[in-house]
Amino acid sequence: MSPDGAKRGASSVTPGARRVIALITLALATAQGFGRFVFPALLPAMKRDLLGSYSAAGFLGTANVAAYLAGALLVMVVSRRRPPHHIVIGGLVASTAAMVLLATAHGFAQLATGMALAGVGGAAVFIPAPGIIGSVVGRQRRGVAVGLLNAGLGLAVVVGTQLSRFSPGWWGPSSWRGVWAILAAITAVALVANAAWLRPVGLGALAQPRLSALRSIRGWKPYLLGYFAFGFGYVLVTTYTVSALRDAGGFSVAHAANVYVLLALGISAGGLTLGKVSDRIGRPLTLIIGYGLCAVCPLLLLTFREPVVALAAFSFGLLFSGCVSTIAVYAADCTEPTDTAAAFALVTVVFSVAQAFGPQVGGLLIDRSGGSFTTSFALASVVLAFSAATAVPLWRATKGESRV
């Protein structure tokens, strides 16, 4: 267990720490919120304009998460030579460039390149984030602090989704290009802000990624297995939610966008909500509850009935972001700040492998079932339920320990 909380003071957050949290929140909101989670909202328009099939759309999603895996591996190498805030800034450079490519794309190859570069940028921001937060915030406040990261991410998705909703009236069938251009400009602002002011104290180059850092996470085998399954299950749902509502549910553009906004609002609230819960009842028990309830949401989305769909979308976003925050905080709890990014990079590699083939599998299932989303969403539900089961031995392994 890391003793860092005792050193920094568990109950206080300094002005410098608040600045670091704000900047990392902005970085994650743009690199992850824009670079990954806005894509499903723009997918129907991109499919009609350039892609033509869900198999092609699935390949773009796979390119994004496969590149996220490559980015995680790259962070593992670079983290031995560069401090974590330099890696974050590099991720924002990649994310800005990615959105410029997407905004100007006139062919599938450029779209795939942009999505891949966005994946690399997202990994470069996300992986160092828990270690940076852990270096400035005491352990008793860490769940809430990391939860703020997902709050910013969710708000970024709300912005992108609302742009996708109103942009057709502004720019016509190719309005998705304008949305990517606006998101690129906002990400560039985040890049400038972090380059100017992100200066976490006391963190130099990180420890070399090694299996022993991962093994210091108690119950690391079920922890990894559950997160792997969660990665596959969640990406099936988030990638195709808007498309399912539009094509199978008959929802209008505005209605489907509003539902996705609810999912994004859930993401905003989830990190803080489950962060507070995990600070009180422990990270493993929080994962059992979060994973288990996540498994119900895809089945509720398939009803295509309101208000069930709205409730399911908000709940899924809340539970998804809460579980991701809990996973990250648990790693930070079990490791020293200099080891957190190293361990979490290995965890993210496993998570990214699951995500890498999720969109492609989902797209193939949808096309082969004649446009039905039932098989894909039912598969997601089963996999998410399995994640909940893997968290039970993790809870047993840590039972009796204080707030872990």
pLDDT tens digits, residue range 21-35? Answer: 889 999 999 998 898
DSSP 208: P
Q: Which helix (H) or strand (E) holds 265?
A: helix 253-281
What is Dmax (Cα atoms) for the chain?
59
- Least confident range from 142-146, 181-185, 271-275, 367-371: namely 142-146
Between CA 264 and CA 317 the distance in angstroms is: 6
For the beta carbon of residue 173, count every other beta carbon within 10 angstroms. Answer: 10
Q: Name the average pLDDT for the chain.
A: 83
How much is the average pLDDT of 344-359?
A: 80
Other C-beta atoms within 10 Å of 197: how many? 12
Name which of 301, 336, 333 is nearest 316 in CA terms. Answer: 301
Residue 81's φ and ψ, nearest 5 degrees, are -120, -25
Q: In sequence order, which residues have a C-beta less than 8 Å from that of residue 199 and are 6 or more positions away?
A: 20, 85
Average pLDDT over residues 148-166: 82
Residue 118 has pLDDT above 90, yes or no: yes
Omega of the bond leading into 307 within 30 degrees of 0 (cis): yes
Look up residue 172 and give its DSSP letter.
Answer: G
pTM of the predicted protein model: 0.73
Rounded CA-CA distance 344/328 in Å is 7
**Cα–Cα distance for residue pair 96/103, rounded to 1 Å:** 11
Q: Is the pLDDT of residue 97 over 90?
A: yes
* 40 has pLDDT over 80: yes
The span from the CA of 124 to the CA of 7, in Å, is 28
**pLDDT digits 0-9 by tens, 220-262:** 888 889 999 999 999 889 888 988 999 899 998 889 888 988 9
User: What gap in Å lies between CA 65 and CA 346, rounded to an integer?
Assistant: 15
pLDDT at 88: 93
Positive or negative torsion for Cα 150, 152, 158, 161: negative
Query: Which domains are assigned to the chain?
Result: 14-198+210-398 (1.20.1250.20)
Those residues whose C-beta lies under 8 Å from the C-beta of residue 109, and which sit 6 or more positions away, are: none
Cα→Cα distances 367→57, 232, 302, 373, 374, Å:
11, 19, 17, 9, 12
Tokens of 103: 């905004």
Measured CA to CA, the distance from residue 92 to residue 149 in angstroms comes to 15
| pLDDT score at 190 | 96
Q: Strand, coil or helix: what is 105?
A: coil
> CA-to-CA distance for 342 and 344, rounded, in angstroms?
6
Both tokens assigned to 263:
């999912």
The tokens describing 96, both together, are: 């800005």
307 three-class SS: coil
Does residue 4 surpass a pLDDT of 50? Answer: no
Q: What is the DSSP letter of 288?
A: H
**Cα 393 from Cα 86, distance rounded (Å):** 37
Among 107-111, 113-117, 134-138, name the most confident range: 113-117
Rg (CA), the chain: 20
Q: Which residues contact 19 (CB under 8 A, 6 or more apart)?
A: 197
For residue 373, pLDDT beyond 50: yes
Distant-in-sequence contacts of 336-340, Cβ < 8 A, 24+ apart: 336/2, 336/4, 336/207, 337/2, 337/4, 337/131, 337/134, 337/135, 337/202, 337/203, 338/131, 338/203, 338/206, 338/207, 339/206, 339/207, 339/213, 339/216, 340/130, 340/131, 340/134
Q: How far apart are CA 261 and CA 314, in angstroms?
A: 8
The pLDDT score that the predictor gives to residue 6 is 38
